[in-house]
Structure 1
Amino acid sequence: MVNIQELDPNASPLDYFGWELRRRREEHRLTQQQLGDAIFCTGSLVGQIETARKLPTREFSERVDAALGTGGTFSRLIGLVLRSRLPSWFQPVAELEVRATYISTFQTQVVYGLLQTPEYARALLAVDYPDKAEEMVAARLERQRALERTEPPALWVVLSEAVLRQEVGDREVMRGQLAHLLAFRDNPWVQIQVLPFSAGEHTGLMGSFTLFRFDDDPDIFYTDGYDQGHMTANPPVIKERSVGYARLQATALSVEDSAALITRVMEERYGDPS
């Protein structure tokens, strides 16, 4: 069993969170159980988080800030902790999502991570990471906070029709996911288009990709790999893929017609069989 006194606060964001939690709790002369009672959890959970054996949640962090009067310290730390649980090769992409002014993405198989429901994300992640699925879901949901900023990025998403029809989880999970996509219809910063099967061959057949634009930094092109991603700011690549993305947008259904197709697939393919 890990001895909390041996935790190195410089080892990782999770270790620092546990180390700082214990330090602040002891400053208030509280036992783990007393703090647990104050934030509606067990003393055992507090101990597991203090020893970096359990990943804290955002709710836990906010309650600790309220109970200990820490001025939002743990609410700020939790973002670093959760991002650190993303695959190391993907962490720079999560940073781009936080800083970007515009995000344009084309997805061939799955819903873009910033728009996934917890259930959909869990079903996807559990395939390859059954032992880490919950913490990876938490990390993915943390990424979505980029859309909750005071000035969120403008997000334009083009989804292949295959994304709507590829069943992830089960019918209920898919029904919830497609309903979630429809919920963005009134969001002025999020536009969702569907590229129908009837479009035939198109410039996105080589695979999913994302373009990030910034106010003061060069544009970045990113594409996924199996165990790593590829990103570049090479101007010819940015120009070629920007034109390719514009062609995808022009070929895809309008935002309104896309919503109608999502609704139809949701009702016909994933509707309540009863």
Structure 2
Amino acid sequence: MERNIAAVQLGVPPVANIRELDPSASPLDYYGSELRRLREAARLKQADLGAIVFCTGSLIGQIENGRKVPTRDFSERVDAALGTGGVFSRLVGLVLRSQLPAWFQAYAEMEAKAAYISSFQAQLVYGLLQTPEYARAVMSVRTEGDLDARVAARMERQRILDRENAPLMWVVMSEAVLHQEMGGREVMRKQLAHLLALRRREWVRVQILPFEAGAHAGLPGSFNLLRFADDPDLVYTEDFVQGRMTANPQALREGSLRYDHLQAAALSVEDSVVRIARVMEERYGDHPGPDGHAVA
């Protein structure tokens, strides 16, 4: 501080306030320290690198100081600019995962390893199927920390659906999910259009549990079943405080039985598409065609 005041008095530009990072403190701090090290090795100022990757030098500084969470797009552009061979594209996955709630990170790790995911959702679209706008609306209700980072972390989770050995996923959602408006009509239109577009992914199936099903096996709440090629199966539940995973055989038996009943009570995949399209048209004012895209 005194150095900067003296510099101003002498007519010299003040030295930037650089935060010293401990690379071992967190994935975010390690990312920032590596970005600074490799940028300086390339003899680039923050503004220089910012101009190359189409952002401000201030943003480069914030990321280097661990005050801003990088995106995957930013990481890919930095890799190209600095010729790092994909260092930051690999690191950003760890950084974004660290932005998930601490109690959820263990589940996210197991979710990424699962060979088969079965999910029942009573109130919200399953996180792996959410659009960025829908996710932001959900998280903005109550969230800690950087909302942009939390949304980016949720979108990062979805990358498992694009990998070569993507998990098979079957999601049963209460029809209430389609009617619970999150973020406004346009956000919901996009979200339901996204659910319709999932028909093109043969390893993802969505069923709607209709209102007319009445009392059903999912009344106690949402839950997920994870099955693995080499590890014990898991059942996952959440309350308003945290989530719980267990491989307890009795819990797995109960979860599997409930899920079987829910699938049996739900509309078929084909009829579920029709129900989603109908709600999208009648409640949110769109007229989707058979491919999920809106028509006049």
Query: TM-score, normalized by length of structure 1?
Result: 0.97
Give the aligned partner of residue 153 of structure 2.
139
1:53 CA displacement = 1.0
Give the aligned partner of residue 117 of structure 2.
103
Aligned mates of 1:61, 1:186 — CA distance in 2: 29
1:131 CA displacement = 5.7
Percent pairwise identity: 66
User: Which of 182, 188, 195 is equivalent to 1:174?
Assistant: 188
Q: Secondary structure at the match of 1:268?
A: helix
Aligned mates of 1:10, 1:47 — CA distance in 2: 19
Aligned mates of 1:131, 1:28 — CA distance in 2: 32
Does the CA-based 8 Å contact 1:4-1:19 persist in structure 2?
Answer: no
Give the aligned partner of residue 244 of structure 2.
230
Q: Secondary structure at the match of 1:74?
A: helix
Alignment of 1:65-144 (within 5 A): 65-129=79-143, 132-144=146-158
Task: Give CA-to-partner distance per residue, 1:2-24, whole Å, 9 cap, x none.
Answer: 95462100111100000000011
Aligned mates of 1:119, 1:162 — CA distance in 2: 19
Task: Give CA-to-partner distance per residue, 1:48-95, whole Å, 9 cap, x none.
Answer: 100011111111100011111111110010000001001000011111
Tell me how many residue pairs correspond in the alignment: 274
Q: Aligned-residue CA RMSD in angstroms? A: 1.7
Does the CA-based 8 Å contact 2:189-2:286 persist in structure 1?
Answer: no
Aligned mates of 2:267, 2:114 — CA distance in 1: 25
Does the CA-based 8 Å contact 1:108-1:162 persist in structure 2?
Answer: yes
Q: Which has the higher contact order (CA 8 A, sep 6+)?
A: 1
Q: For the pair shown, which has the larger CA radius of gyration, 1 or 2?
A: 2
Query: TM-score, normalized by length of structure 2?
Result: 0.90
Can you give the 5+ residue segments of structure 2 that lack an aligned partner in the other structure?
2-15, 288-296
1:243 CA displacement = 1.6
Aligned mates of 2:101, 2:152 — CA distance in 1: 13
1:129 CA displacement = 2.1
Q: Does 1:220 align with 2:221?
A: no
Q: Secondary structure at the match of 1:90?
A: helix
Q: Does 1:41 align with 2:66?
A: no
Task: Give CA-to-partner distance per residue, 1:96-123, whole Å, 9 cap, x none.
Answer: 1210000000000000000001111111
1:227 CA displacement = 1.8
Q: Does 1:208 align with 2:222?
A: yes
